[in-house]
Amino acid sequence: MRYQLPLCAVLLLFGLPAWAAKKVDLDYHVTLLPQSDQAEVRVTLEQGTAVRSLDFDLGDHGYFSDFNADGQWTTAPGPNSGRLRGVWKPAAGKATLTYRVHVSRPAASPSMEKPRYDSRMTADWALFRGEDLVPGARLDQQEGVRLQARLTFDLPTGWKHIETSWPRIGKNRFRIDNVSRLFDRPTGWMLAGNLINRRARLGDTEVTVSSPKGQGMRRMETLTLMTFVWPKLQAVFARTPGKLLVVGVADSMARNASAGHDSVFLNSNRPLISESGVSPLVRELVQVFGRVKARDRSDWIPEGLAEYYAVELLRRAGGMSEDRYQDWQSILTRISRKVSTLRADPVDPAMTARAVLLLIALDQEIRQRTDDQKSLDDVAQGLMRMGPVSTQDFVQVAAGVMGQPSKVLSSSLLE
């Protein structure tokens, strides 16, 4: 005789599905304070008992201060790195943690002539990442609970806009839902102030190009370039984010371009395509769509792929002639002539150039061995489905695509 367990018993044995989990609101409320170059952040749990603790990584720069919590709040150096950690054990009922965070972040290697920034707040606008506002944390929550996160901004007087890559659910309100993380927090580039926006729909993605007034952002040129390469980008990296945000400022920013969660920062002083033929915009779009991460001193993989496709996608779209493509390879050869290894974290520009040459040779090898049925695209697509990858992982994926080990990847560069 077959005995069937009741549904309630099955759920207890195997855990609650997402639809049956108890939903608890987690609200982030951010007030931007340009007069002090800070933001005041209020984190509110609808039911404090839903979370046993949140263990925040507060870093080692002292950017976070003025903590006030419902429940228990303690800070201590981390066990290994010495980075400060803060642990919040929320009180029962509605529980709130408030703190202040310094928004402007000097670049790691600032210019000797004047300061350069990775994130910046001025009297008229603020450019930052969500990670700058809410640090990463280890979440210990009750079983059967699902946190529903929302982000709300209070803007200074006279500031009219706030743009993020998250779905907008109100004037200055956004839904935060990252299926790859247990602890949903704001991430990606964000821009606030009096902004000029240009919007378009590319495929199934709503694209916004945004910049403060007077920053020289070439919004329509940016949208045009994205429209030009979009089909080729989608053919390789078949991801379709609901939103994509491209932000641009020029004032005192250190980077040429940088990718975040479904978002890209561009220094609006720099060209969309360099003299060598590389597009910083396309390079960072590859990072956003590919999401290939490295481990075990294998930073050459994501950096090399991004640099390779920054030119290759333009070439496939008809934006680069064969002569210019050969000139680009000659530049890479000259830059990387002294490189003897690619195993480092991070890699420098010369190592990235050598990694691109290795990838070009690998693409040719794959095409030859598979009668043009496979290419480096298949390797990239395999890596997209993995977590952080090592050099050995890369070698194995390439061998799987070809059906045999790669001679190109037997190079001493990867030892």
Instruction: Residue 374: give its domain's CATH number.
Output: 1.10.390
Residues 15-44, mean pLDDT to the nearest whole number: 86
- Does 238 fall in a domain? no
Distances (CA, A) of 2 to 5, 11, 113, 296, 346: 10, 19, 80, 51, 59
146-187 tens-digit pLDDT? 999 999 999 999 999 999 999 999 999 999 998 778 899 999
CB 27 within 8 A of CB 43: yes
Question: How many residues are given for the chain?
Answer: 415
Return the structure tokens found at 265.
């920062």
Return the structure tokens found at 30.
């951010």
CB 179 within 8 A of CB 196: no
As a dihedral over the C-alpha atoms of residue 250, residue 252, residue 257, residue 263, rounded to 10 degrees, the angle is -80
- Does 352 fall in a domain? yes
pLDDT number for residue 19 = 47
pLDDT number for residue 403 = 95
Q: Are strands 243-249 and 263-267 parallel, antiparallel or unpaired?
A: parallel
As a dihedral over the C-alpha atoms of residue 353, residue 355, residue 360, residue 363, rounded to 10 degrees, the angle is -160
State the total domains in the chain: 1
254-294 tens-digit pLDDT? 878 999 999 999 999 999 999 888 999 999 999 999 999 99
- Does 121 fall in a domain? no
- Does 348 fall in a domain? yes
59-94 tens-digit pLDDT? 988 999 999 999 999 999 887 667 899 999 999 999
pTM over 0.75: yes
- Does 391 fall in a domain? yes
pLDDT number for residue 113 = 66
- Does 333 fall in a domain? yes
Parent domain of 371: 292-414
As a dihedral over the C-alpha atoms of residue 120, residue 125, residue 130, residue 134, rounded to 10 degrees, the angle is 80
- Does 287 fall in a domain? no
288-336 tens-digit pLDDT? 999 999 999 999 999 999 999 999 999 999 999 999 999 999 999 999 9
Distances (CA, A) of 34 to 29, 58, 81: 16, 22, 32
Residues 34-54, mean pLDDT to the nearest whole number: 97
Q: Is the pLDDT of residue 109 over 80?
A: no
- Does 311 fall in a domain? yes
CB 32 within 8 A of CB 155: yes
pLDDT number for residue 7 = 45
Instruction: Give CA 389 to chain center in angstroms.
Output: 17
